[in-house]
């Protein structure tokens, strides 16, 4: 896939527009020159377009020592004379992991953290009616005071998300409040009868004099204006003001998850004393209320909702983490197709665009910072350094402020798989938990632990979840139920979830019988993953006190240090292959259980084409109630679905040579069929 290229004429018009008082946003993704910092020879750079990572080759070639160091990105930026009097900002959506910006060889600033957006004001650094040189020095090497320190995934280096040049009036809605939109729509109280919302707006005055302005908030239901309120105020010279405007909606249209993900549009406009528009920002407003009960689970708008979720990493084959919008669109569509109603976006803040997709699809979201422990690996996830602590606070504030207005986000995640040996993070987690509540009193905090059930580390956040792999890293599928029951019995106050559960699978690894797998081996047969998910989901589904569960993972992802599955360098626990071209059998098991709208029938173990056993069980997944199986033209009868959308015909006799297997069912007037051919050889 290629990035969308906007016509040059449109960009030129944007660049020379001086009559327009409101902000102008220009995408700066094209024609950067890139070189590694060790390439000091003149002319050693190559032209690249953003998003870009320098590790798409080596990290995805399973080199555990893929390059983690510094790269340089340079670009010419022409600044016309007509821009004098404007404020110029560079907004970076994501640079991994430490970025230093220079304009015309002068250092502007540094950002530490690879997953949040950041903004620099470059007004005082540019030359007008001239070409200016932008230099971004990017470093993805391990630094002991930048989260994350470890992780079971690739730390791709580069400017891997979009870069924007934004022009504003000197008096504007702030862009530099931790790169937030400058607008916070605080839902103080929401019910089916009434919604009370505070619009908090951060305003900046870069002039030397007091400015009289009016902040106006308009709420729209489609094209219809629902309400409009404004507040007049003055802003001191070289100062910031933060007015709040109260909004009340009667009988609000609620954001109700997958059933009805309704979103109001809120425009915040800044006007001068004469009524001329200086700036405007549009934000989503999805009104909803929710809570979690220790016995009954998650409730959205007063109704119980079993959160059936997945986890997602932001990389894919060939691209690494340098994704285009089309990639995010495709991922979200696949996730929604399966019937997913919740997602854990692990293990770091992901693209703001993707949170917006979760809003639109109605998928309840767990967003988290990259405070990651080593899990089963060596090294550590916490260093008790003042600079490390500060970096974690910074990244948490960025996460919350940048994504505050996304209605899909219900949970702020504070850590994953931390250990308490050595520098113990417990007290620091308490600090982060308090900070999260100060920043946002409307959402719940949570975390993903892998330590014992009674550990203090799991008792700090509002909710707690565990990463459990029963039936993959030892144990059996039924152990999930025994574990959950014990925790719920021994710690009835816990509000518990399963933050990760999963098993590896290669679509190229097929076996006639079901045999236990060595998780760290190069043999990951697909049918074991299917059996794993069938066994674990049944246990989870039967326990209402589990407020949510999140399959690890929706998609295969890069992990250069891994040596398992059908090739090194890949974590193949995804329900969909790394390139998104193949949905594994387990995907269709969940789709049959979770998606009751898109009718289908699916024959499992379809890729096990070369058969060695004449007698075989045939498993079919369907969200329809009855399926007929036909083998080599002969009907083996119809079956009713079991409780988990599964149909099994036992000991079906295949004939030597090709065997045509057909499953078919009708839904109303529509006939649904699935056909595979298996070949039996003695």
Q: Which of 169, 193, 214 is the last residue of a domain?
A: 169
Catalytic hit among 93, 368, 398, 417: 417
Q: Which of 169, 190, 206 is the last residue of a domain?
A: 169
- Catalytic site includes residue 417: yes
**Model confidence at 14: pLDDT above 80:** no
Residues 207 and 79 in one domain: no
State pTM to two decimals.
Answer: 0.95
Average pLDDT across the chain, whole number: 95
Residue 514 lies in a domain: no
- What values do phi and psi take at 187, rounded to 5? -90, 90
Residues 256 and 365 in one domain: yes
Residues 142 and 254 in one domain: no
Q: Which two three-digit tokens encode residue 189?
A: 């109280």
Cβ atoms of 182 and 412 within 8 Å: the answer is no
Q: Distance between CA atoms of 109 and 532, rounded to whole angstroms?
A: 49
Coil, strand, or helix at residue 353?
A: helix
- What values do phi and psi take at 319, rounded to 5? -95, -20
Give the pLDDT score at 162.
Answer: 98
Torsional sign, CA 315, 316, 317, 318:
negative
Number of domains in the chain: 3
Cβ atoms of 298 and 290 within 8 Å: the answer is yes
Residue 21 pLDDT level (bands cut at 50, 70, 90): low
User: Kindly report the CA angle at 226 between 224 and 230, in degrees rounded to 5?
Assistant: 120
Residues 161 and 221 in one domain: no
Residue 543 lies in a domain: no
Q: Which two three-digit tokens encode residue 192?
A: 């089916």
- What values do phi and psi take at 260, rounded to 5? -165, 80
Q: Which two three-digit tokens encode residue 598?
A: 């898109």
The 3-state secondary structure of 637-669 reads EEEECCCCCEEEEEEEECCCEEEEEEEEEEECC
Which residue(s) pair with 501 in the sheet?
551
**Model confidence at 543: pLDDT above 80:** yes
- Provide the 8-state DSSP code for 542: T
Distances (CA, A) of 595 to 307, 425, 590, 663: 13, 40, 8, 19
Residue 584 lies in a domain: no
Q: Which CATH number do you get for residue 671?
A: 2.60.40.10
Residue 17 lies in a domain: yes
Residue 559 lies in a domain: no
**Model confidence at 541: pLDDT above 50:** yes
Residues 96 and 184 in one domain: no
pLDDT digits (tens, 9 = 90+) for 296-326: 999 999 999 999 999 999 999 999 999 999 9
pLDDT digits (tens, 9 = 90+) for 385-395: 999 999 999 99
Q: Distance between CA atoms of 376 and 244, rounded to whole angstroms?
A: 47
Q: Which of 440, 467, 494 is the last residue of a domain?
A: 467
Q: Which CATH number do you get for residue 24?
A: 2.60.120.260
**Model confidence at 111: pLDDT above 60:** yes
Q: Which two three-digit tokens encode residue 238?
A: 């070289």
Residues 263 and 398 in one domain: yes
Domain that holds residue 406: 177-287+341-467
Residues 670 and 634 in one domain: yes
Residues 36 and 185 in one domain: no
Residues 79 and 224 in one domain: no
Residues 391 and 277 in one domain: yes
Residue 309 lies in a domain: no
Residues 200 and 97 in one domain: no
- What values do phi and psi take at 394, rounded to 5? -60, -45
Which residue(s) pair with 241 in the sheet?
203
Residue 49 lies in a domain: yes
pLDDT digits (tens, 9 = 90+) for 179-233: 999 999 999 999 999 999 999 999 999 999 999 999 999 999 999 999 999 999 9
Give the pLDDT score at 17.
Answer: 37
Residues 159 and 254 in one domain: no
Residue 383 lies in a domain: yes
């Amino acid at each position: 896939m290629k990035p969308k290229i906007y016509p040059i004429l449109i960009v030129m018009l944007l660049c020379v527009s001086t009559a327009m008082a409101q902000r102008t946003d220009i995408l700066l993704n094209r024609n950067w020159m890139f070189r590694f910092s060790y390439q000091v020879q003149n002319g050693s750079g190559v032209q690249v377009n953003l998003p870009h990572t320098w590790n798409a080759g080596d990290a995805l070639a399973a080199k555990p020592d893929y390059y983690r160091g510094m790269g340089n990105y340079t670009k010419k930026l022409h600044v016309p004379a007509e821009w004098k009097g404007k404020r110029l900002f560079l907004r970076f959506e994501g640079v991994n992991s430490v970025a230093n910006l220079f304009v015309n060889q002068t250092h502007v600033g540094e950002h530490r953290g690879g997953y949040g957006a950041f903004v620099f004001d470059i007004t005082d650094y540019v030359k007008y009616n001239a070409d200016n040189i932008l230099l971004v020095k990017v470093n993805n090497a391990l630094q002991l005071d930048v989260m994350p320190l470890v992780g079971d995934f690739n730390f791709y280096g580069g400017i891997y998300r979009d870069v924007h040049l934004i022009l504003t009036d000197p008096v504007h809605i702030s862009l530099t409040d931790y790169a937030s939109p400058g607008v916070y729509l605080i839902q103080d109280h929401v019910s089916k009868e009434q919604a009370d919302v505070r619009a908090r707006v951060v305003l900046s005055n870069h002039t030397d004099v007091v400015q009289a302005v009016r902040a106006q908030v308009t709420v729209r239901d489609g094209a219809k204006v629902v309400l409009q309120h404004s507040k007049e105020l003055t802003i001191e010279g070289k100062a910031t003001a933060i007015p709040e405007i109260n909004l009340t909606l009667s009988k609000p249209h609620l954001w109700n998850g997958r059933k009805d993900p309704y979103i109001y549009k809120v425009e915040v406009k800044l006007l001068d004393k004469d009524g001329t528009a200086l700036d405007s920002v549009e934000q989503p407003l999805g009104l909803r209320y929710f809570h979690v009960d220790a016995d009954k689970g998650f409730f959205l708008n007063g109704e119980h909702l079993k959160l059936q979720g997945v986890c997602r990493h932001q990389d894919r084959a060939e691209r690494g983490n340098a994704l285009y919008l089309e990639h995010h669109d495709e991922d979200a569509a696949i996730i929604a197709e399966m019937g997913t109603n919740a997602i854990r976006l692990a293990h770091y803040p992901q693209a703001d665009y993707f949170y917006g997709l979760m809003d639109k699809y109605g998928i309840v979201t767990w967003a988290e910072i990259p405070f990651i422990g080593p899990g089963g690996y060596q090294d550590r996830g916490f260093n008790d350094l003042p600079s490390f602590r500060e970096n974690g606070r910074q990244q948490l504030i960025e996460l919350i402020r940048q994504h505050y207005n996304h209605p899909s986000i219900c949970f702020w995640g504070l850590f994953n798989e931390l250990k308490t040996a050595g520098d113990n993070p417990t007290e620091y987690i308490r600090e982060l938990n308090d900070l999260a509540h100060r920043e946002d009193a409307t959402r719940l905090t949570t975390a993903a632990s892998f330590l014992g059930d009674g550990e203090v580390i799991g008792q700090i956040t509002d909710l707690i979840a565990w990463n459990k792999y029963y039936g993959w890293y030892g144990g059996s599928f039924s152990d999930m139920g025994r574990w959950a029951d014990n925790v719920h019995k021994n710690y009835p106050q816990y509000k518990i979830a399963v933050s990760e559960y999963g098993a590896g699978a290669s679509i190229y690894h097929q076996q006639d019988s079901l045999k236990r797998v060595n998780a760290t081996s190069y043999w990951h047969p697909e049918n074991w993953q299917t059996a794993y998910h069938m066994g674990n989901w049944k246990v989870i589904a039967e326990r209402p006190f589990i407020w949510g569960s999140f399959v690890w993972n929706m998609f295969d992802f890069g992990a250069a240090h891994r040596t398992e599955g059908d090739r090194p360098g890949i974590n193949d626990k995804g329900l969909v292959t790394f390139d998104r071209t193949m949905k594994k059998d387990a995907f269709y098991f969940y789709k049959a259980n979770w998606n009751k709208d898109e009718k289908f029938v699916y024959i499992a173990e379809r890729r096990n084409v070369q058969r060695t056993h004449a007698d075989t069980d045939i498993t079919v997944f369907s969200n329809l109630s009855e399926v007929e199986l036909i083998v080599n033209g002969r009907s083996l009868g119809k079956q009713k679905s079991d409780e988990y959308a599964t149909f099994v015909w036992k000991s079906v006799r295949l004939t030597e040579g090709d065997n045509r297997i057909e499953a078919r069912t009708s839904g109303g007037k529509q006939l649904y069929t699935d056909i595979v051919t298996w070949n039996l050889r003695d």
